[in-house]
Structure 1
Amino acid sequence: MGENDPYTILQIVLNPDGSLTRPTLFPLSNPRAEAEKPHHVFSKDVPLNPSKKTWIRIFRPHFSTQTAPLPIIIDFHGGGFVFLSAASANIHVSCERIARHVPAIVLAPEYRLAPEYRLPAAYDDAMDAVRWVRDQAISDLQRDTWMTPDVVDFSRCFLMGSSAGGNIAYHAVLRALDLDPTFKISGVILNVPYFGGEQRTESELRLAQDRILPLYANDGMWQLALPGGADRDHEFCNPMTPGSYHDRVGSLPPCLVRQYGGDPLVDRQRSFVRMLEGRGVHVVSRFVEGEYHGADFFDPKQIQALLTDVKDFISSVNGGP
């Protein structure tokens, strides 16, 4: 074990049974039954797939003057497929901000983590969440009281994710093209999406000792997340690799892709944008000079920039809120 050992860098212990002992990066937050200040957002948890022990945290802004149904955002959290939860305090607060600022109904699915559940487990859980929303849209019997048509506009459903959550949102929207054509995803919001590959990029080498996402930690998380025996050119990691859904890319709805100049992944994200555009996808690309991977969780200026970008993008699709 040393300074370049991913387990040391990530502060994790791989147990003999293949499970991880993880550090507590953030405390867990309970849903808020009351929309107390300064949040003004109600939240509650509902089951998703009991056999997988997955669930969804729903965030609903408190607006007594709301006159129109709100768009819905299914927001997948980051954490390299290995860390965090929909209940993690930083994720909870971020979803509250989005729900309040856009405004929108925000769903934060609790998906299974690697290595206990390697990819595509997270994609499968993401599709469970998408199908749950679809079923709410078409079934009076299953409709949740927070998800009625006077509250939610089911014709404006967006997938969103930051870092690994962006990777999940991308793979989920490709799979969602198989769903009933009466239910469509209106757009995809990919905030610093987490992609990789075997060949190092200039930004990965230049920022190999990055304080947020050093190269060895990055490699370690992919080693834990990918199917056994797969390398970083697997389609789950490298979106340039032809795979099961690669030929569907041109059918994607509009995409917002955000990148930071100081992120080791920025070169991959730029290549990803070029790939989407080359397939005819309408892409809104937002590049911020400098800054670091995950800046929008900690820097008030970048938090506000993310909220503005999300609101503007949703407003530009299907007529906006």
Structure 2
Amino acid sequence: MSLSLIVFSLLFLSGAHSTAMDPYKFLHIILNPNGTITRLEKHPETPATPDPNSHLPVLSKDLTINPSRNTWARIYLPHQALNHSSSSSFTQLPIIVFYHGGGFIFYAANSTYFHDFCVQLVQRTQSVVVSVNYHLAPEHRLPAAYDDALEALHWIRTTEDKWLTRFADYSNCYLMGESAGGNIAYNVGLRAAAEVDQLEPVKIKGLILVQPFFGGVKRTSSEERLANDTNLPQPVTDLMWELSLPVGADRDHKYSNPTVDKGSKGFDHITRLGWKVIVFGCYGDPLIDRQIDLAKSLQKHHAHVEGHFQGEDKHGVFVGQPTKGKAIELYDTIKTLFITTQN
């Protein structure tokens, strides 16, 4: 498996799929006796670029969230904001809190794959993006990633970093994630909805879920239809859930399947707060039916939901092609969201 193919697809593009495939070999990981994994591939990383004298359209810097837990975030800021902030007409920018994908077991906030996407996201939507680095499974199984993600929201409201206090509109905040990051944005959104008063002055206005990673024990029609998909093989997604869910849990656990257990209670919180939820998906993605089911379930609870399901593109197309059609549609939708959710 070539490194370029790994970078292109969130969950690793590779050769032909068969029912006898070894998902460990496919992912280039080794399961260790103590339950950890050895990751044989090192993903390219991009250093932050905070220098205001550079000619880059988007600046970035890394900040520690919790030194005792070794958690941090990469902050992105449109360069032109530095030049216009002293103007009387300067308007603070919306905040997007972004959670990267990788099946809960791969990547980081400084991975080139996601860094390049966040740069485009900031440049094209004129927002401040906080890309959260969270602990990975199986060394840190769920809900560890959710804990880190929620802690990041509390850090945003208390940090004295000037890029946030000076340029970000705390009253116009959105949680966004792609694939596993979409799962995190959704589950952390449920937690945040239960403690909105504790997050002041940060006010979440909505969730942006890009091909979110959900699962379940019973196969959906799209999973069966795309059983031989070489982009996202079924044994690979099954293994990712096995490595990331609490030990002994199956794919109908609430972290994986939002339409079972107490999902309706969480839906009611989202409805009560008036958050807008936007879900993006493509029909070439085996996970599309689960994404559609989530949108329908939220609609049944009278939540403000907007589904963007179209095209036969594969899983990972939005981040994997950050300057092309699907990604452009995503940025344009987000810009519209900023306008329609303003008080």
- For the criterion TM > 0.5, the same-fold answer is yes
Q: What letter is aligned with 2:150? A: M
Aligned to 1:251: 269
Match of 1:263 in 2: 285
Which of 218, 226, 234 is the aligned partner of 2:237? 218
1:83 counterpart letter in structure 2: F
SS at match of 1:169: helix
One of 308, 311, 315 as aligned partner of 2:332: 308
Aligned residue in 1 for 2:109:
86
Tell me the residue number matched to 1:158: 174
Kindly report which structure 2 residues correspond to 1:52-131, keeping only aligned pairs within 5 A, or say none.
52-63=69-80, 64-65=83-84, 67-131=90-154
Contact kept in structure 1, 2:28 and 2:41, CA below 8 Å: no
Quote the residue 2:162 is aligned against: 145
CA distance in 2, matches of 1:281, 1:120: 25
1:186-242 CA distance string (max 9 Å, x none): 111000110000000111111122222110001000000000000000000000112
RMSD of aligned residue pairs (Cα, Å) = 1.7
Residue number in structure 2 paired with 1:22: 39
How far did 1:21 drift? 1.3
Deviation readout 1:89-137 (Å, 9 max, x if unpaired): 011111111111111110011100000000000000000111112224x
SS of equivalent residue, structure 2 residue 68: helix
Structure 1 unaligned segments of length 5 or more: list them: 137-142
Contact 1:75 1:160 in 2 (8 A): yes
Match of 2:15 in 1: none
Distance 1:180 1:268 in 2: 27
Aligned to 1:197: 216
Unmatched 5+ stretches in structure 2? 1-18
Shift of 1:25: 5.7
Q: TM-score, normalised by structure 2?
A: 0.86
Measured in 1, the distance between the counterparts of 2:279 and 2:42 equals 26
Which sits farther off after the overlay, 225-234 or 174-183? Answer: 174-183
Match of 1:186 among 170, 192, 205: 205
Deviation by residue 1:77-98 (Cα, 9 ceiling, x = unmatched): 0001011110100111111111
- Separation in 2, partners of 1:25, 1:268: 30
SS in structure 2 opposite 1:51?
A: coil
AA paired with 1:189? I
Question: What is the aligned partner in structure 2 of residue 139 from structure 1?
Answer: none
Q: Secondary structure at the match of 1:293?
A: coil
Question: What is the Cα deviation at residue 52 of structure 1?
Answer: 1.6
- Secondary structure, counterpart of 1:216 in structure 2: helix
What do the CA deviations read for 1:216-271 (whole angstroms, capped 9, x no partner)?
A: 0010000000000000000000001123x641312211111101010000011111
1:232 corresponds in structure 2 to 251
Cα distance per residue 1:245-299 (max 9 Å; x no partner): 6413122111111010100000111111000101111011111221010111233
The question of 1:275 aligning with 2:293 is answered no
Q: Give the alignment partner of residue 294 of structure 1, picking from 307, 310, 316.
A: 316
Q: State whether structure 2 residue 175 is matched by structure 1 residue 173.
A: no
Match of 2:28 in 1: 11
Call closer, same or farther: CA 1:267–1:33 in 2, change over 3 Å. same
**CA shift in 2, pair 1:71/1:21, >3 Å:** same
Shift in Å at residue 307 of structure 1?
1.5
Q: How far apart in 2 are the matches of 1:246 and 1:287?
A: 23
1:160: how far off?
0.2
Q: Distance in 2 between matches of 1:110 and 1:7?
A: 24
What letter corresponds to residue 241 of structure 2 in structure 1? W
The separation in 1 between residues aligned to 2:320 and 2:150, in whole angstroms, is 29
Whether contact under 8 Å (1:3, 1:9) holds in the other structure is no
The letter of the residue matching 1:10 is L
8 A contact 1:25–1:84 mirrored in 2: no
Is residue 58 of structure 2 the alignment partner of residue 41 of structure 1?
yes
Query: Would the alpha carbon gap of residues 25 and 192 (structure 1) be closer, same or farther in structure 2, given more than 3 Å must change?
Result: farther
TM-score (norm 1): 0.92
What is the DSSP-based 3-state SS (H/G/I as helix, E as strand, rest coil) of the residue aligned with 2:189?
helix
Q: Conserved in 2, the CA contact under 8 Å of 1:70 and 1:105?
A: yes
In the aligned structure 1, how far is the partner of 2:229 from the partner of 2:70? 35
Q: How many residues align?
A: 310
